[in-house]
Amino acid sequence: MGRMQLQTGTTLDGFVIGKKIHQGGMAEIWEVTKDGIEAPLVMKIPLILDGDDPTMIVGFEQEQMILPRLAGPHVPKIYGLGDFSIQPYIVMERIDGESLLKRFKEAPIPLAEVIDLGAKIATALASLHAQDVIHLDLKPSNIMFRPTKAFSAKVDPGFAPENASERHGGEAVFIDFGLSRHLKLPDLLAEEFRVPMGTAPYIAPEQVLKLREEPRSDQFALGVLLYTLATGERPFGNPKHTTKALIRRLYEAPTPPRLIRKDIPDYLQEIILRCLDVKPERRYPTARQLAFELRHPEQVTLTDRATREKTHWLKNMLAGRLNPYDKAPLSRLESYRHASTAPIMMVAVDLSSEGVPLAEALRDLVSRLLVTSPDSRLACVNVLKTARVGLDTLMEDDGTSIHVKRLVELKNWAAEMRLPPERITFHVLESPDPAEALLTFARNNHVDHLLVGARGSGGVRRYLGSVSTAVVAEAACTVTVVRKQAAEDEAEA
């Protein structure tokens, strides 16, 4: 299960590797071909290196889970997925058009083009949201446009472009769904990590507060894009990706764009500032409505936003409902998240060779419990113990990530239960304290029932305490402990 050394000419699951066309910090992109497929293809492969943040691995899992469920012209068509047991990858349609990044760097651009691009992106968002997916990482490099021969924009005659660019004539296409949320599937990122997910300049206020169920978060990111394309400046600057740096946008409204660019019409300022409203309920009800107003400026209802001429501080951040220093409102967000998911059964699996009887007994018990609780979903968890002080090497000698190896073993452990993907998730937690890691996961995800194995009751274990003992003592949910002797007796029987 060592890491494959890909190079031009290598064959992987029938796909012939061509040249490498992109090397990023988290993934590399290769041209590939396969007999029987005429469409141009690319293969995305995650870079899993020693010391990498595990969010990258979980994000790639999330992308593999979401992309095959999407359809339409606004997402690349998927042709193949590679399992982590050999080589994780995603083979998808190659989009021949350009990304938004080049025009973004050239901002400010003609207003007719700003409006046209915004309408296309909003239309793509409407399609995505209709499929129960929120992107949550809209930025210029994640938006591409299919090539066409013509540019069109339905805008005020005074803003018709003289030399309209043909580069963005086609539909907007979203790529990179590693931070996305499918509302009908488990959210792996939210279950494992308790930090804001997104790209700092574009992240919505509710994302700062770790709410990932709000489709209008994508509108906020689009508002940032429109503001920057029109003015050449970002509405909130380029903050560091820390909660402290992001908190400011929960209190301060951006400078009205017309103070930066005088020829921005009232309706465009109205649209941009509405997208950037700190309260999601004050943005557009749907992305489809936003697209309509961008294409029909005469239909835009003007408010005080349209003529705003100064920066102002918000009197009550999110109407006082979401204060980052107030734990009560945050708990309400957690309640919202919990209410939108099925009851969670969590099983802590020991993947060591000596833990095999326990692991098998746990699987048998979990299988029986899932039959009696058909609405529950299962979170399979293993803890990769790390050093409290110093650095751990999280790679095998053959280049295999130990984190990925545990993930594959966890999936193999659960394979015979044959649960559909919407009922099961897999989590490898990295922590120097396994008991605390399990308790934190259970607490953060409102686990209803936690199952854990106990190897034995030797003198040293009794004196120092065990993982199962700590979990039983401190867990706020129902805990079932399967003991080693009971598992061995059952195996002999």
> How is 446-493 classified by DSSP, letter by letter?
T-SEEEEEE----HHHHHH--HHHHHHHH-SSEEEEEEHHHHHHHHH-
Count of the separate structural domains present in the chain: 3
Euclidean distance between CA atoms 54 and 59, whole angstroms: 8
Euclidean distance between CA atoms 490 and 409, whole angstroms: 23
Residues 284 and 388 in one domain: no
Q: Stretch 439-454: mean pLDDT, rounded?
A: 89
pLDDT for position 180 = 96
pLDDT tier, 322 (very low <50, low <70, confident <90, very high otherwise) = very low
CATH of the domain at 186: 1.10.510.10
Q: Stretch 268-278: mean pLDDT, rounded?
A: 97
pLDDT tier, 108 (very low <50, low <70, confident <90, very high otherwise) = very high
In a domain, 423, yes or no: yes
Residues 136 and 56 in one domain: no
Residues 87 and 107 in one domain: no
Euclidean distance between CA atoms 120 and 131, whole angstroms: 17
Residues 218 and 242 in one domain: yes
In a domain, 111, yes or no: yes
pLDDT for position 339 = 36
In a domain, 261, yes or no: yes
Euclidean distance between CA atoms 13 and 354, whole angstroms: 34
14: left (phi over 0), alpha (psi -120 to 50) or beta: left
Backbone angles phi, psi at 428, to 5 degrees: -105, 115
Euclidean distance between CA atoms 187 and 374, whole angstroms: 19
In a domain, 3, yes or no: no
Q: Domain end: 45, 61, 93, which one?
A: 93
Residues 105 and 199 in one domain: yes
Least confident range from 65-79, 328-342, 418-432, 470-484: namely 328-342
Residues 395 and 287 in one domain: no
pLDDT for position 312 = 63
Residues 141 and 172 in one domain: yes
pLDDT for position 422 = 83
The answer, yes or no, to whether residue 11 has pLDDT greater than 90, is yes
Residues 316 and 357 in one domain: no
Residues 252 and 166 in one domain: yes
Q: Stretch 11-38: mean pLDDT, rounded?
A: 92
CB of 119 closer than 8 Å to CB of 294: yes
In a domain, 351, yes or no: yes
Euclidean distance between CA atoms 192 and 197, whole angstroms: 12
Q: Which two three-digit tokens encode residue 335?
A: 């309640």
In a domain, 5, yes or no: no
Angle, CA 52 vertex, CA 50 and CA 57 arms, to 5°: 110
Euclidean distance between CA atoms 103 and 113, whole angstroms: 10
Q: Domain end: 321, 336, 351, which one?
A: 336
pLDDT for position 341 = 52
In a domain, 2, yes or no: no
CA distances from 306 to 107, 158, 249, 269 (A): 22, 18, 20, 5
Residues 299 and 369 in one domain: no
Q: Domain end: 336, 367, 397, which one?
A: 336
In a domain, 1, yes or no: no
Residues 86 and 109 in one domain: no
pLDDT tier, 397 (very low <50, low <70, confident <90, very high otherwise) = low
Euclidean distance between CA atoms 492 and 441, whole angstroms: 34
Residues 263 and 277 in one domain: yes
Backbone angles phi, psi at 462, to 5 degrees: -65, -35
CB of 180 closer than 8 Å to CB of 190: no
CATH of the domain at 24: 3.30.200.20
Q: What residues make up the domain containing 53?
A: 11-93
Q: pLDDT by residue (tens digit) across 414-438? A: 999 999 888 899 999 988 899 999 9
